[in-house]
Structure 1
Amino acid sequence: MPNYADSRADLDSYLTARVPVIGLRTIEQQRALRLVKEVATQPRRTSQPFWIYTRATGLRDLRSNTTVQDDRSLTGAMDFAAAQFTSRPMATLILVDPDGLEGDTHFTRHVAELARLADANAGSIVLITDNPIWSGLQRLGMSLRLDLPDAEEMFRSVRSFLDDHHGVVPIEWDEDDARRASEFLLGVTEAEAVNLMATIVARGAVRREDVLALAQAKDRIFSDLAGLERVQLKSSDYSVGGLSNLRDWLKRKNELMHADLRGTDLRPPRGVLLVGVPGCGKSLSAKAIASQWQLPLYRLDMASIHGKYLGESEGRMREALETADRVAPCILWIDEIEKGLAGSHDLSGAAQRIIGQFLFWLQESESRAFVVATANDVRSLPPELLRKGRFDELFFVDLPDPQDRKEIIELYYRRYVKAEPEPDQVERLVDLSEGFAGSDIEAALHEVGAEVHLGGGADRLRPSFVLDTFVNTTPLSRTNPEQIEEIRTWGRERAVPAGRTSVTAAPGASGSARRVVFMGE
């Protein structure tokens, strides 16, 4: 993407070549005006007239900002420019955000006629807009795009802002902190970045912890996101029982997520694909990661991506992924990804194109959007998604072992019963919960918590009620053992275990080699 310096160089070359129509596309009007003024005020252009028209100020001299004529209408400005293009060489008119540039209209044809007058006497018209320009007009000249600030330009803005406030408020940030803040601010406009920094300064100091707080503050800018659903976290989403191998791996990825990667060939973590038995904490893990990493959580609803018209699904997917890049750093949660990316036999080809879009983005995106994708039926996933290098790792979430079940039981007992469980009772519940998923344990203890609430407190809870609740809970591993064993067999052979221990092989299962994660020292 062209940055500020590249766009300035392009504009300079177009004006030097006296291109009659120059379309400058951007959503940052003030930044674009600064760019144009920098090019226009170069010493070699002192003899060339530059006029600028805006609806608020009318026609003015770009350099001196003096009013050119009393008529503040766009028609008056264009009539003035037509007379000047006829009588003066190398004149330039800048029109800021004029209405109606998109189609073949009376106005765009008027601008095209004006451009032909300019061309006859080495003049130029610069159109600053965030809308498309009619092709018949654009073919008369060249176009360029001023994208949002990149990391280096954002760093200069942050550094300049901090320099302006030294001595005004205490500032704890060093250069590394400013670099990290700049990367967190990628995806917002220069004006939005200044507003976010000003909000921090308004608190009376710039603390080190404010670097990470920028990610949360930036999230408030994007209140209505196409294709993405902002997930508000609750306190119950902060903890996950078991899955110790996954949690250790995520700690190291968190360090890399916030590390300064300049000067290296490393890229931020891509994400993780969690497959396994339903109800064992895959979706909860996405929420826990967002909470522990202190990053906003967005859910990509694959069902909302698919449209009934040709090209609609691909357009929605592209828009959602572009939005994810803008809101980064964030956690991007794709629940049951197999339902959105399945359908390779769809005759329309939409599913394959969506898969291609997603894989390309996953491979090439440099944003700090960490994807947490979950899947139950991995057989429906396209094989190319499982190839090493798409996600950082593929973890299998199995039924919890006794030690994990103990941790999960204690977690939900404290949450719902509001008391500490007796050690002997916990051991008994661990035995009774053989074959339970985490969601089965939660459901049983939620029932216990409801009894406590209705019965007047934990001190009146009969221990036998807790045991009976577990005895009467029938997990999915018993109601549908064939499906669960098929899922476990797949994960046993193809993925890294998310728990602390390896999955116990079923009788007669293949003894294929397992993959393990080397955590390093």
Structure 2
Amino acid sequence: MSRYLEARRDLDSYVAARVPLISVRTVEPLRAVRLLREVAGSARRAGLPFWLHTRAAGLRDLRTNAQVQEERSLVAAMDFAAAQLSRRAQATIVFVEPDDLTADSPATRHIAELARLADARSGSIVLVTDTPLWSGLQRLGMSIVLDLPDAPEMYGIVTDFLKEQQGAVTIDWTDADARRAAEFLVGVPEGTAINVLATMAASGHLRRDDVARMAEFKDKHFGDLAGLERVHVDSADGELGGLTSLRAWLRRKHQVMLADLSETRLRPPRGVLLVGVPGCGKSRCAKAVAAQWRMPLYRLDFATILGMYVGQSETRLREALEMADRTAPCVLWIDEIEKGLAGQYDSTGVSRRLVGQFLYWLQESRSRVFVVATSNDVRSLPPELLRKGRFDELFFVDLPDDTDRAEIIRLYYRRYLDTEPDGDLLPRLVVLSDGFAGSDIESAMNEVGTEMLLRGDRSCPPTEFVVDTFVNTIPLSRTQPEQIAEIRSWGRDRAVPAGAPVTTAASDGEPRRRVLVPGDA
């Protein structure tokens, strides 16, 4: 049963029981009014009066929309309600977005008096608002939360729209495409969903590829979100060198991310935890996933989550994760996750509570939020975060081997010099870059590109200058060899290698973990 049908069932029961005060909590007042009209339109209530007050239209009959009085103020509507409730039974008056009712005030006490009058005459006062009510009002009745449309209801909205456009717009969508579009639109109000569909149909042709564009429109609807930083990506961010196994694994997860899962018990991919050597492309992976999947990228920064007051950090994290659910489908990037969830020296218990809250969301959320979390010091993370089932997979990003370094060198050659390295030069650079991380190679090629820009000729850099630049680049593996060796020793046996698949056993005779990617050569 959809959320809308559940809300209608509860509302119908409350009206039938003549509950004196009914609050409908929602950010979609028009959808709530439609719900009330459906309940009031029941045949068994044909003889019962229902009135509706809005600030713009004043007081009107809920069923016919006929105007009841000229004066449109809320005070006049309350006076009318008091008069009607005093002289007739089983009357229902709906107030849409009245004055602030969150605290004890003259307005809330006036509503409370109307509710008591309604209770004496078997009537009902219905409040449609997007804020919680003062506790003194809550005690007088019952409440309903009309959430945003879920996937089943959104599917109905999408199919109704497509039926209305038949003949006017060329529609290539199948039923599966409509269900995918519905899942992509979950988290936005009904009106916004219709606006997105109408915008896409304005070209006169709804193509199957348009379904994936839903994420772009949805991203524009939300804009800047509290606790989440919007990270803009471009097509160049989609280029990723090396990491062969990880890239193949991500291609398969992308297929599942776009698939219609409504008829299965499968949940969308949860995400990946990347650990390993600094500078080897862990953070770049988040941008690459967002660019290749054409999904918005949001960064969860625990520095902005942590607050100075008790409970503030937990509230901010919950709100940020809720907003991530609403923006889905999206990619959620958590860089250096150990800095927010390690808590080794936290005596307040805040980090432990944040860990519990984050793990619960990872386990229970069914939204299409793909998490890309990175860590340079995985040993400081709580063990429960590494358990299978939290993230879909744990990958170790090691220093690139010869093949991966060649690919990375060609990538940055194209990016900074708009050309390919000479056939004889590439093998020399691969040898010289032994021990380089991807960031070291990028730094060297950026230096070459800068020098050629200053010379006014980027097309053909001198071979010896490129070689000298690589020779003079000192990688982290040489400045901090002990630290890098320790990281590599941990990750080789405890995580799936993100680079080329391992085909040989480890030196101690124990087979290393490998990722299985059926169908990929």
2:251 aligned residue: 251
Q: Deviations over 1:326-347 (max 9, x none)?
A: 0000111111111111214412
Secondary structure of the 2:194 match is helix
Counterpart for residue 514 of structure 1:
512
| Aligned position for 2:312 | 312
Which residue matches 1:151? Answer: 151
Secondary structure (helix, strand or coil) at the match of 1:240 reads coil
Q: Which residue is 2:276 aligned to?
A: 276
SS class of match (1:423): coil
Alignment of 1:288-437 (within 5 A): 288-437=288-437
Q: Distance in 2 between matches of 1:482 and 1:512?
A: 24
Asked if structure 2 preserves the Cα contact closer than 8 Å seen for 1:497 and 1:503, the reply is no
Matched AA of 1:216: E
* Structure 1 counterpart of 2:256, one-letter code: L
Q: Is the 8 A contact 1:394 1:496 kept in 2?
A: yes
Report the counterpart of residue 201 of structure 2 in structure 1. Answer: 201
Task: Please name the residue that 2:215 is paired with.
Answer: 215
Q: Name the residue aligned to 2:12.
A: 12
- The alpha-carbon deviation at position 400 of structure 1 amounts to 0.3
Secondary structure in 2 matching 1:52: strand
Partner of 1:261: 261
**CA shift in 2, pair 1:181/1:2, >3 Å:** closer
Structure 1 equivalent of residue 109 of structure 2: 109
Aligned equivalents of 1:486, 1:118: Cα separation in 2: 73
Give, as a single letter, the amino acid of the residue that structure 1 aligns with 2:373: A
1:479 correspondence with 2:479: yes
3-state DSSP of counterpart to 1:108: helix
CA distance in 1, matches of 2:178, 2:115: 45
Matched residue count = 519
SS at match of 2:48: coil
- 1:459 is displaced (CA, Å) by 5.3
Give deviations 1:377-400, integer Å, cap 9, x for gaps: 111111110001100000000000
Q: Deviations over 1:454-492 (max 9, x none)?
A: 223245532111111111111000000000011001101
Task: Give the C-alpha shift of residue 206 in structure 1.
Answer: 1.0
- Which amino acid is 1:517 matched to? V
What CA deviation, in whole Å up to 9, does each residue of 1:366-424 have, x standing for no partner? Answer: 00000000010111111110001100000000000011111111111121122221111
CA distance in structure 2 between the partners assigned to 1:360 and 1:5 by the alignment: 28
Unmatched runs of 5 consecutive residues or more in structure 2? none
1: CA distance between counterparts of 2:436 and 2:406?
A: 12
Aligned CA-pair RMSD:
1.5
Q: Is the 2:501–2:514 Cα contact (8 Å) retained in structure 1?
A: no
Structure 1 unaligned regions, length at least 5 = none
Asked if structure 2 preserves the Cα contact closer than 8 Å seen for 1:300 and 1:332, the reply is yes
Does the aligned pair in 1 maintain the 2:418–2:459 contact within 8 Å? Answer: no
Deviation of 1:502 (Å): 3.7
8 Å CA contact 1:492, 1:503 repeated in 2: no
2:2 and 2:152 in contact (8 A); partners too: no
Give, in angstroms, the shift of residue 156 of structure 1: 0.9
Please tell me the residue identity of whatever aligns with 2:221: I
Tell me, yes or no, if the aligned pair for 2:171 and 2:205 is still in contact at 8 Å: yes
- Secondary structure of 1:269 counterpart: coil
TM superposition shift of 1:91? 0.6
Asked if structure 2 preserves the Cα contact closer than 8 Å seen for 1:2 and 1:146, the reply is: no
Tell me, in whole angstroms, the C-alpha distance in 2 between the residues paired with 1:113 and 1:296: 49
CA contact (8 A) 1:218 1:327 kept: yes
**Alpha-carbon distance in 1 for matches of 2:177, 2:453:** 48
Whole-angstrom CA distance in 2 between matches of 1:239 and 1:335: 19
Tell me which amino acid in the other structure corresponds to 1:118: A
Provide the rounded CA distance (Å) in 2 between the counterparts of 1:279 and 1:436: 9
Corresponding residue SS for 2:206: coil
CA distance in 2, matches of 1:300, 1:175: 35
Residues 283-338 of structure 1, C-alpha deviations (whole Å, 9 max, x = no match): 11111111111111111111111111111111110111000000000111111111
Query: CA separation of 1:120/1:459 partners in 2, compared to 1, >3 Å: closer, same or farther?
Result: closer
Report the residue type matching 2:337 in the other structure: I
Amino acid at match of 1:514: R
Separation in 2, partners of 1:494, 1:461: 42
Alpha-carbon distance in 2 for matches of 1:48, 1:347: 61
Identity between Structure 1 and Structure 2 (%): 63
CA contact (8 A) 1:85 1:117 kept: yes
Residue 234 of structure 1 deviates from its aligned partner by 2.9
- 1:169 matches 2:169: yes
What is the deviation of 1:65? Answer: 1.4
For 1:25-84, what per-residue CA distance to the aligned partner results, in whole angstroms no more than 9, with x for missing partners? 000010000000000010000111111111111111111211222222212211111121
**Range that drifts further, 79-88 or 274-283:** 79-88
Partner-residue secondary structure (3-state), 2:372? strand
Correspondence for 1:42: 42
Return the alpha-carbon distance in structure 1 between the equivalents of residues 75 and 472 of structure 2.
81
**Which residue of the partner structure matches residue 469 of structure 2?**
469
2:459 and 2:32 mapped to 1: Cα distance? 69
Contact kept? 2:344, 2:380, Cα under 8 Å: no
- Residue 172 of structure 1, CA deviation: 1.1
State the TM-score, normalized to the length of structure 2. 0.97
Distance 1:261 1:355 in 2: 28
> Does the 8 Å CA contact 1:26/1:129 hold for their aligned counterparts?
yes
- The answer to which of 198-207 and 184-193 deviates more is 198-207
Q: Match of 1:231, as an amino acid? A: V
Match of 2:53 in 1: 53
Question: Which shifted more, 20-29 or 305-314?
Answer: 305-314
The match for 2:98 is 98
Q: Which amino acid aligns with 1:157?
A: I
User: Given the superposition, is the C-alpha separation of residues 313 and 500 from structure 1 closer, same or farther in structure 2, using an over 3 Å criterion?
Assistant: same
For the Cα contact (< 8 Å) 2:504–2:511, is it kept in 1? no
Aligned equivalents of 1:2, 1:115: Cα separation in 2: 30
Counterpart residue type for residue 90 of structure 2: M
| Contact residue 436 and residue 477 of structure 1 kept, 8 A | yes
CA deviation map 1:226-263 (0-9, x unaligned): 11111111333121110000001111101100111122
2:287 paired with 1:287: yes
Aligned to 1:221, what secondary structure does the other structure show?
Answer: helix
Aligned-pair distance for 1:437? 0.3
Alignment of 1:216-231 (within 5 A): 216-231=216-231
User: Is contact 1:51-1:60 (8 Å) kept?
Assistant: yes
Structure-1 residue corresponding to 2:498: 498
Please tell me whether the aligned partners of residues 2 and 145 of structure 1 are also in contact (alpha carbons under 8 angstroms): no
Counterpart code for 1:262: S
Q: Is the 8 A contact 2:282 2:374 kept in 1?
A: yes
2:344, 2:447 → 1: CA distance?
42
